[in-house]
Amino acid sequence: MRRQHIAWTYLVLALVLSIYGGYSVFSSIRDQKDVPALGIVFFALGLMLLIIYFGVFMVGFIKKKLHPVKKEEPKAEEKEEAEEKAVEEKPKPTPAPKYEPRDDVTYERVSRPARREFGGDSGYVRLVGYGPVLRIEEAEILDMRNNTYYKIEDNYVKQSGYGPVFEIRGNQIRSAYGGYLYEISGSSVNKVYGGYYASMSGGTLQTHDLKEKYEIPSSMNMRQKLAVVALLFGTY
């Protein structure tokens, strides 16, 4: 830092001398007056200092280009010593205590509750003439049209990263924050406020106007069916 300060001071001094001396010399020549000797001295001295400064700068720059500074690599002996020290300082793992059953203690086997299965079916919902639009894996549903995941948890259909979008109540489904949408009664899919809308029987789901026909897994439970209906036909 001190070295850089000296260099800047030197450069400023050279500039001041050359500018002041040059101004005195050229202004005297312009006004056709006698050129002051001090002005010539300052101008010449300033130019000489600038030439020396830029000469030193260029020499240093060329040296850096021709001989770049290389980082010294640690010697092989120092590397070995460091590795040995690291191995010595590494704590040794404490062996786990060996378990041995005792004859004077009665052990009871703890039974875990059986895993509760979601039930229902897995498979694809295919739009006839188009291809798969939904993939069902028990409680999880992938909407392949927009690559969005949903999961049925208790009585809610939740969108991944978003939260509940539908609520299931018995054989009806509603918007999580809105009104009722559809209900399933036997093989009929009805709009709660609008009447008969589609039929669902075996492995087929078809709207009453025959505009949409889907192939569906044949053994879906009620929650899966309601979620599929809501995802396919949307809100209204």
φ, ψ (nearest 5 deg) of residue 123? 155, -160
- d(Cα 197, Cα 210) in Å, to the nearest integer? 10
Does 86 fall in a domain?
Answer: no
In 3D space, the residue among 207, 204, 203 whose CA is nearest the CA of residue 234 turns out to be 207
Dist. CA 175–CA 72, nearest whole Å? 69
Split at pLDDT 50, 70, 90, the class of 114 is very low
134 and 214 in a single domain? The answer is yes
Alpha helical stretches, state H, the chain: 2-30, 37-66, 76-89, 222-233
Within this chain, do residues 154 and 60 fall inside the same structural domain, yes or no?
no
Of residues 57 and 75, more confidence is placed in 57
84 inside domain: no
Gap between the Cα atoms of 228 and 236, Å rounded = 16
Q: Give pTM, 2 decimals.
A: 0.51
Q: How many domains does the chain have?
A: 2
pLDDT at residue 103, rounded to an integer: 56
Query: Which domain does 161 fall in, by range?
Result: 122-233
pLDDT at 23 over 80: no
For residue 79, being part of any structural domain is answered with no
Same domain assignment for residues 129 and 211: yes
The arithmetic mean of pLDDT across residues 185-214, rounded, is: 93
pLDDT tens profile 160-182: 999 999 999 999 999 998 899 99
Asked if residue 109 is part of any domain, the answer here is no
Q: Is 128 in the same domain as 203?
A: yes
Looking at 66, 86, 104, the residue that finishes a domain is 66
**182 located within any domain:** yes
pLDDT for 113 equals 44
C-beta of residue 183 within 8 angstroms of C-beta of residue 192:
yes
Where does a domain end: 66, 85, 101? 66
pLDDT, mean of residues 27-48: 75
196 has pLDDT over 60:
yes
